[in-house]
């Protein structure tokens, strides 16, 4: 290096060191985060500390979450929930950093669940694409838009075990496989947090919320400890390992100790075993709800129980702010516990660079309508997420269809396609099914519509017009299902049956004798047992987001080949719940113990999904017949596209351990891979089996066991057996 240049660099660094030496240590980005945290903590009053543990909603972006007006907020509060208003966010931040003694920035969070202004499919549907990279891209894209509007943090991903379709929040889950949930948890965390426009992720709802009894939201849960480790905890652990900065404690009572006051899960497991370094936020009002749940005697007790269990930031109910000072004075809460919680929150603020860059400068994405790139991504994801459940050959619609009838209450509905967490999404920006078809139908094909009946309620006065239209058409596209508000939070249903008169509408329209393609718009599997035999084809559209209608049109017209596969078992009737692929075996098989009135199997199995092409599997090839712990075993399968169209195939690798000291699931997903295969071409798929990771199972305290013995491996219709050696 030139001596002059070296002197300049050394001189400059000497100046900057001198300047930064004048700053208090917590303001110096060159110092380790732990040192900055300790320094700042040592300067804080108790009141300032307690304010750091308080989060409240502000602004009118989400009226349900508005609890305080901006001018009533203390500048020292640690966090605010607000979205869609960068000016408000920056104004609140200015008060925090410029008008307080220590200038600690607030962290701004909101629910960015499946998109921000551009809405992607609901998570249950996202999982049906079996593409972690696509999910990661979508999360990254949503984070960029959210960041441009001033968010530092999203309350996502939700990684609850989605196994009861009555529970409205199944829509927000990645489905019923803890393995898939773990892969998608890690992908979503990475997507949200990566890059310069990344925002902090939040794994929620920790833990067990998906087991809400009877599918009733906010209910208590009874989860045997072994099941907790097997089904509920893995996606959280995967998300922590992927670097999630925050975790949200759940509403549910977990085996008698509510999740938001559960020391075992919040401290022993999350922090002591997994080494989680971020902070835990309570769900909305969850601290106060400890009283309603019969766990805390009063508000002060609730604050004490939650804090000591490991909840750091109190969302919305303000109990920490009201009671912690008194609890410390009374010796009920040690100051060290408050210091610990404050330190965790400060650590995340330092790690996200909030002290160096507290403000968000407006950018081209601030308040922006969906960009072309985001719309393309939304359309791709929507198409990949839809699942072709049945096809007698009517799809893709061929040239013989010159007159197409579009019937049903969901045909023109834009809001229903958004789903329940549309954040800044706007119904007016959604491509409805009708709009998608109108835009993409070939010239010369007529499209006429009749709603038939509303989604819910209403009478049969629209039936005649719908039936007449069906008779005059070559084929019918029938759009049935749910409105956005019928799934999501606080939206449980006792039955999966189609709401209102829709099932009846389906039957009268089918009786007109024309091929009917049923499109199911919903946040959950719905009950189709009565109508399924009459339908020529069924496509699960889910709540596909901003570009849903365009994606539907492409699939119906064969411009894209369906490739979605179910991330959740689709029951025949509500009475079959719970039903899931990774159930334990029954004591007797076949008809014994089965239902007398209906088939015991689901209508569509986990992993089911059709294509316009066909795939043939070769035999599973195993590198060896035996594997020992510490070794790996390669399994391979060749899949050939035997049809006439290119298509995407997802190989789902399951195992079964037929004899174990704790009985194992009938089938347990352990690996998956999706790939495009050209018509006539073949492709190899591989599963590198690691016994410690893939063949072990947890005991009731989460310690993993590997036992010698036989393992059955499944890929598509193929089966192979190998042994685990001692």
Token pair in block for residue 525: 């599997």
Distance CA 651, CA 358 (A): 45
Measure the CA–CA gap between 609 and 260, rounded to whole angstroms. Answer: 38
Determine which residue in the list 153, 284, 350, 615 makes contact with ligand NOJ, applying CB under 6 A: 284
DSSP string computed for 594-659: S-SSS-SS-SB-TT--B-SS-EEE---EES-SEE-TT--EEEEEEEEE-SSS-EEEEEEEEEE-SS
Q: Where is 451: in which H helix or E strand?
A: none
218 binds ligand NOJ per the rule CB under 6 A: no
CA 525 to chain centre: 16
Provide the residue count of the chain.
726
Task: State in angstroms the smallest separation of the CB of 284 from ligand NOJ.
Answer: 4
For the segment 393-412, give every residue that binds ligand NOJ (CB under 6 A). Answer: none
φ, ψ for residue 100 (rounded to 5)? -125, 160
407/451 Cα distance (integer angstroms): 5
Instruction: Please check whether residue 490 is in contact with residue 531, taking contact to mean a CB–CB distance below 8 angstroms.
Output: no
Q: Which of 48, 85, 111, 314 binds ligand NOJ (CB under 6 A)?
A: 111
- Name the β-bridge partners of 637: 685
CB of 259 to ligand NOJ, least distance (A): 12
Helix or strand holding residue 518 (H, E): strand 516-521
Residue 317 sits in the site that holds ligand NOJ (CB under 6 A): no
CB of 250 to ligand NOJ, least distance (A): 8
Residue number of the CB closest to ligand NOJ reads: 155
**629 φ/ψ angles, rounded to the nearest 5 degrees:** -55, 135
Binding-residue total with ligand NOJ (CB under 6 A): 7
The minimum distance between CB 178 and ligand NOJ, in angstroms, equals 20
Token digits of residue 242: 């992927």
Applying CB under 6 A, does 120 fall inside the site for ligand NOJ?
no
- Residue with Cβ nearer ligand NOJ (106 or 476): 106
Tell me the pairing of strands 446-450 and 403-407: parallel
| 283 counts as binding ligand NOJ under rule CB under 6 A | yes
Smallest gap from Cβ 68 to ligand NOJ, in A, equals: 15
Nearer to ligand NOJ, 113 or 568 (CB): 113
Nearer to ligand NOJ, 239 or 571 (CB): 239
Q: Are 70 and 96 in contact (CB under 8 A)?
A: no
φ, ψ (nearest 5 deg) of residue 564: -65, 150
Q: How many helices (H) and strands (E) does the chain have?
A: 19, 27
Using CB under 6 A, which residues numbered 57 to 96 contact ligand NOJ? 65
Q: What angle do CA 606, 609, 613 make, to 5 degrees?
A: 150
Closest distance of CB 308 from ligand NOJ, Å: 23
Identity of the residue, 51 or 283, whose beta carbon is nearer to ligand NOJ in the bound complex: 283
* Residue in 96, 87, 95, 187 with CA at minimum distance from that of residue 143: 187
Nearest by Cα to 118 from 85, 148, 90, 153: 148
Minimum Å gap between C-beta 289 and ligand NOJ is: 11
Cβ atoms 154, 102 nearer than 8 A: no
Q: How far is the CB of 155 from ligand NOJ (least distance, A)?
A: 3
**Shortest distance in whole angstroms from residue 205 CB to ligand NOJ:** 6
**What CA–CA distance (Å, rounded) separates 259 from 212?**
12
CB of 67 to ligand NOJ, least distance (A): 11
Q: How far apart are CA 333 and CA 280, in angstroms?
A: 18
Residues near 454 by beta carbon (within 8 Å), at least 6 away in sequence: 409, 500
Judged by CB under 6 A, which of 114, 204, 352, 671 binds ligand NOJ? 204
* Nearest distance from C-beta of residue 690 to ligand NOJ, angstroms: 34
**Which residue lies nearer to ligand NOJ by CB, 109 or 562?**
109
How far is 237 from 207, CA to CA, in rounded Å?
Answer: 11
Q: Decide if residue 126 touches ligand NOJ (CB under 6 A).
A: no
CB of 152 to ligand NOJ, least distance (A): 15
Among candidate residues 149, 164, 283, 314, the one labeled active-site is 283
Q: Of 70, 77, 9, 20, give the one whose Cα is nearest residue 48.
A: 77
Task: Output 56 or 557, the one with its CB closest to ligand NOJ.
Answer: 56
Of the candidate residues 131, 317, 434, 489, the single one contacting ligand NOJ (CB under 6 A): 489
283 is catalytic: yes
Which of residues 77, 155, 236, 570 is near ligand NOJ by CB under 6 A?
155
Picking from 617, 681, 674, the residue whose alpha carbon sits closest to that of residue 651 is: 674
Nearer to ligand NOJ, 152 or 489 (CB): 489
- E strands in 164-256: 202-206, 246-249, 253-254
Q: How far is CA 530 from CA 498, 502, 573, 577, in A?
A: 10, 11, 9, 17
**Does position 668 bind ligand NOJ by CB under 6 A?**
no
Indicate the residue among 111 and 694 with the shorter CB distance to ligand NOJ: 111
Task: Identify which of residues 318 and 452 has a Cβ nearer to ligand NOJ in the complex.
Answer: 318
**Using CA atoms, how far apart are residues 434 and 411, in angstroms rounded to an integer?**
6
Contacts to ligand NOJ from residues 580-609, by CB under 6 A: none
The dihedral formed by the CA atoms of 410, 414, 419 and 425, expressed in degrees to the nearest 10: 180
Q: Does 51 bind ligand NOJ (CB under 6 A)?
A: no
Please give the radius of gyration of the chain, using alpha carbons only, rounded to the nearest integer: 27
Question: Which CB, 284 or 714, lies closer to ligand NOJ?
Answer: 284
* Nearest CA among 117, 139, 143 for reference residue 126: 139
Closest CB to ligand NOJ among residues 85, 283:
283
When the beta carbons of 284 and 672 are compared against ligand NOJ, the nearer one is: 284
Residues carrying an active site annotation: 283
Which residues make up the interface to ligand NOJ (CB under 6 A)? 65, 111, 155, 204, 283-284, 489
């Amino acid at each position: 290096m030139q001596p002059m240049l070296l002197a300049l660099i050394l001189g400059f660094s000497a100046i900057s060191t001198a300047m930064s030496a004048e700053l208090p240590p917590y303001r110096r980005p060159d110092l380790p985060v732990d040192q900055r945290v300790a320094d700042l903590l040592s300067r804080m009053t108790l009141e300032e500390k307690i304010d750091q543990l308080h989060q409240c909603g502000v602004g009118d972006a989400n009226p349900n979450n508005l609890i305080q007006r901006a001018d009533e907020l203390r500048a020292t509060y640690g966090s605010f929930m607000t979205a869609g208003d960068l000016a408000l966010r920056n104004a609140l931040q200015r008060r925090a950093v410029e008008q307080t003694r220590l200038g600690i920035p607030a962290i701004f969070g909101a629910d960015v669940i499946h998109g921000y202004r551009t809405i992607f499919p609901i998570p249950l549907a996202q999982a049906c694409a079996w593409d972690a990279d696509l999910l990661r891209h979508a999360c990254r894209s949503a984070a960029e838009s959210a960041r441009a509007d001033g968010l530092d943090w999203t309350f996502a991903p939700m990684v609850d075990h989605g196994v009861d379709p009555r529970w409205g929040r199944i829509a927000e889950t990645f489905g019923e496989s803890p393995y898939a949930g773990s892969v998608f948890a890690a992908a979503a965390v990475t997507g949200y947090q990566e890059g310069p426009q990344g925002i902090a992720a939040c794994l929620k709802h920790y833990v067990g919320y998906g087991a809400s009894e009877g599918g009733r939201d906010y209910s208590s849960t009874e989860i045997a400890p072994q099941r907790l480790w097997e089904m509920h905890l893995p996606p959280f652990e995967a998300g922590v390992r992927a670097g999630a900065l925050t975790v949200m404690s759940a509403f549910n009572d977990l085996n008698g100790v509510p999740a938001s006051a559960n020391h075992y899960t919040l401290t022993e497991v999350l922090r002591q075993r997994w080494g989680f370094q971020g902070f835990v936020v309570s769900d909305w009002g969850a601290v106060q709800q400890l009283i309603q749940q019969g766990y805390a005697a009063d508000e002060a007790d609730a604050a004490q129980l939650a804090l000591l269990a490991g909840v750091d930031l109190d969302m919305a109910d303000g109990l920490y702010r009201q009671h912690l000072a008194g609890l410390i004075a009374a010796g009920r809460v040690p100051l060290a516990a408050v210091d610990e919680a404050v330190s965790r929150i400060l650590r995340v603020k330092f790690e996200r660079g909030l002290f160096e860059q507290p403000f968000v400068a407006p950018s081209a994405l601030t308040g922006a309508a969906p960009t072309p790139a985001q719309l393309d991504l939304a359309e791709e994801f929507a198409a990949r997420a839809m699942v072709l459940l049945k096809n007698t050959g009517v799809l893709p619609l061929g040239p013989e269809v010159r007159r197409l009838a579009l019937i049903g209450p969901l045909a023109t509905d834009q809001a229903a396609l958004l789903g329940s967490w549309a954040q800044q999404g706007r119904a007016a920006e959604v491509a409805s099914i009708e709009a998608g078809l109108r835009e993409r139908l070939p010239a010369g094909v007529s499209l006429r519509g009749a709603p038939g009946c509303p989604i819910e309620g209403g009478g049969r006065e629209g039936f005649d017009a719908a039936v007449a239209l069906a008779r005059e058409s070559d084929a019918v596209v029938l759009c049935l299902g749910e409105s956005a508000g019928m799934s999501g939070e606080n939206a449980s249903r006792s039955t999966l049956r189609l709401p209102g008169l829709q099932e009846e509408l389906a039957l009268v329209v089918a009786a007109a004798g024309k091929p009917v393609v049923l499109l199911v718009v919903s946040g959950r599997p719905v009950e189709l047992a009565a109508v399924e035999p009459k339908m020529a084809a069924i496509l699960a559209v889910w709540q596909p987001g901003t570009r849903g209608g365009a994606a539907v049109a492409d699939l119906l017209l064969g411009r894209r080949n369906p490739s979605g596969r179910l991330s959740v078992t689709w029951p025949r009737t509500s009475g079959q719940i719970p039903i899931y692929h990774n159930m334990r075996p029954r004591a007797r098989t076949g008809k014994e113990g089965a239902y007398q009135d209906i088939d015991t199997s689901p209508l569509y199995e986990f992993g089911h999904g059709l294509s316009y092409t066909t795939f043939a599997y070769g035999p599973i090839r195993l590198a060896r017949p035996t594997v020992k712990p510490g070794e790996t075993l390669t399994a391979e399968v060749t899949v050939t596209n035997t049809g006439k169209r290119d298509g995407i195939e997802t190989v789902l690798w399951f195992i079964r351990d037929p004899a174990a000291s704790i009985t194992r699931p009938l089938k347990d997903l352990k690996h998956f891979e999706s790939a495009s295969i050209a018509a006539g071409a073949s492709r190899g798929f591989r599963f590198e089996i690691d016994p410690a990771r893939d063949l072990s199972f947890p005991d009731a305290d989460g310690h993993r066991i590997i036992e010698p013995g036989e393992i059955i491996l499944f890929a598509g219709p193929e089966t192979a057996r190998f042994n685990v050696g001692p």
